[in-house]
């Protein structure tokens, strides 16, 4: 096989997710009365961003062969912290940002330490740490509320033009050179930045490669002399950071903090679904956070389509469930290709 074909076949699940998303999204825009407009794009990227971040966060433990049941709780905890800190002068806000991101990473670091040094299975360790994070979030924000800087909240959820107009650069966004990029929604740009500036360098680093190696075979990775413990802790910490970014954005989007246990649970479960739809194997070692972004996009685009076709709201959860079940069942096609039954048990 040529190099290109090998690359294509290795990335088949990711490409499938991209194509499915593109089909769904074009279909949605074609049927939307204001389809293919900036306003629709802004709205959609706002709705997608937090789930995409939480899905990226979930990807790392899954690549290790584990599962993180605390991503929703970390997101919620950072959300409540942000609702306390993201106001006041510019320096205070910058300080708030740093604290929020650090808190997310710290939560992930705690998860990593419990898994590595406590040697507790990730799924059950994060079940417990998730409860603790949720408790802290409830302590910080017993009832929904909070105060987030209005300008910041407005610009973070709009296009680049609004940033320029609000903070007064590029002639308030009217400069000619600024026009080609003025329409880009901020969340979309942030998503691309996180993927390109954080995920890709990590995945290509030795530590990132080690994460994949651990997921494929921890014993083999150990015998190859890879720094397994460091990779695991790094993976969980980065996952916490991603979840933290998601929580931070949720605070900007809703201008408030809310320690909502069902919401945290829903994000956690949706993140698992997004990861699987994005082509990452729950057995570990295969997949990428980029795929998870598209998994999250697919999940959300399905609900967008419901809005367009005015499906009875009472039937929506059923459709969503059936689509989710069908999407994950696609993985069953593997069974048809297996020639030796023993291969099923891997």
- Residue 95: CB atoms within 10 Å: 14
Binds another protein (CB under 8 A): choice among 43, 190, 222, 230? 222
Dist. CA 13–CA 133, nearest whole Å: 33
Residue listed under structure tokens 């459709």? 319
Provide the β-strand partners of residue 145: 257
Instruction: Provide the phi-psi class of 171: left if phi over 0, else alpha when psi is between -120 and 50, else beta.
Output: left
> What's the CA gap between 47 and 267, in Å, rounded?
13
Inter-axis angle of helices 186-194 and 228-254, to 10 degrees? 180
Give least dist CB 65 to another protein, A. Answer: 10
Other beta carbons within 10 angstroms of residue 344's beta carbon come to 9
Judged by DSSP in three states, 185 sits in strand
Whole-angstrom distance, CA of residue 215 vs CA of residue 209: 10
Binding to another protein (CB under 8 A): which residues in 61-80? Answer: 67
Among 3, 89, 262, 310, binds another protein (CB under 8 A): 262
Choices 81-89, 165-173, 235-243, 317-325 (CB under 8 A): range interacting with another protein: 317-325
The span of 184-192, 214-222, 230-238, 240-248 binding another protein (CB under 8 A) equals 214-222
Q: Which two tokens stand for residue 166?
A: 């609000």
Which one of residues 47, 106, 190, 218 is an interface residue with another protein (CB under 8 A)? 218
Count of residues interacting with another protein (CB under 8 A): 57
Among 106, 198, 227, 282, binds another protein (CB under 8 A): 282
Query: Does 269 interact with another protein (rule: CB under 8 A)?
Result: yes
Q: Which of 4/336 has CB closer to another protein?
A: 336
Closest to another protein by CB, 98 vs 123, is: 123
- Please count the other Cβ atoms lying within 10 Å of the Cβ belonging to residue 53: 33
Query: Binding residue for another protein (CB under 8 A) from 4, 177, 314, 339?
Result: 314
What 3-state DSSP class applies to 145?
strand
Residue whose CB is less far from another protein, 93 or 136: 136
Task: Give, as ranges, the residues between 105 and 144 that touch another protein (CB under 8 A).
Answer: 114, 118-121, 123-125, 127-139, 142
CA distance 135 to 261: 10
Query: Using CB under 8 A as the criterion, which residues of the chain lie in contact with another protein when the complex forms?
Result: 67, 114, 118-121, 123-125, 127-139, 142, 218-219, 222-223, 262, 265, 269, 272-273, 276, 282-283, 313-322, 324-325, 328-329, 331-332, 334-335, 341-342, 344-345
């Amino acid at each position: 096989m040529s190099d290109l074909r090998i690359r294509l076949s290795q990335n088949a699940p990711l490409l499938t997710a991209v194509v499915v998303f593109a089909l769904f999204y074009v279909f949605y825009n074609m049927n939307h009365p204001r389809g293919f407009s900036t306003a629709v794009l802004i709205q959609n990227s706002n709705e997608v961003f937090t789930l995409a971040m939480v899905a990226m966060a979930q990807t790392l433990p899954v690549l290790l062969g584990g599962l993180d049941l605390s991503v929703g709780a970390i997101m919620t905890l950072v959300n409540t912290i942000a609702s306390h800190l993201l106001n006041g002068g510019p320096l205070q806000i910058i300080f708030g940002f740093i604290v929020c991101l650090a808190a997310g990473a710290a939560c992930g670091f705690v998860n990593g330490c419990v898994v590595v040094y406590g040697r507790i299975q990730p799924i059950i360790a994060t079940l417990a740490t998730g409860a603790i994070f949720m408790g802290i979030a409830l302590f910080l924000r017993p009832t929904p509320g909070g105060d987030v800087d209005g300008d910041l909240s407005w610009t973070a959820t709009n296009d680049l033009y609004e940033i320029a107009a609000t903070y007064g650069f590029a002639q308030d966004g009217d400069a000619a050179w600024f026009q080609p990029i003025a329409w880009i929604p901020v969340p979309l740009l942030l998503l691309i930045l996180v993927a390109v500036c954080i995920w890709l360098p990590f995945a290509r680093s030795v530590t990132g490669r080690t994460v994949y190696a651990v997921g494929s075979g921890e014993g083999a990775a150990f015998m190859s002399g890879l720094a397994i413990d460091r990779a695991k802790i790094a993976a969980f910490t980065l996952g916490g950071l991603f979840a933290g970014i998601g929580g931070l954005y949720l605070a900007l989007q809703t201008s408030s903090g809310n320690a909502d246990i069902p919401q945290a649970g829903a994000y956690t479960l949706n993140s698992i679904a997004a990861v699987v739809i994005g082509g990452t194997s729950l057995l570990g070692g295969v997949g990428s956070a980029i795929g998870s972004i598209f998994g999250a996009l697919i999940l959300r685009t399905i609900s967008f389509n419901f809005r367009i076709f005015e499906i009875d709201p009472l039937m929506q959860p059923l459709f969503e469930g059936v689509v989710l079940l069908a999407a994950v069942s696609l993985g069953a096609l593997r069974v048809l290709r297996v020639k030796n039954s023993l291969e099923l048990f891997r």
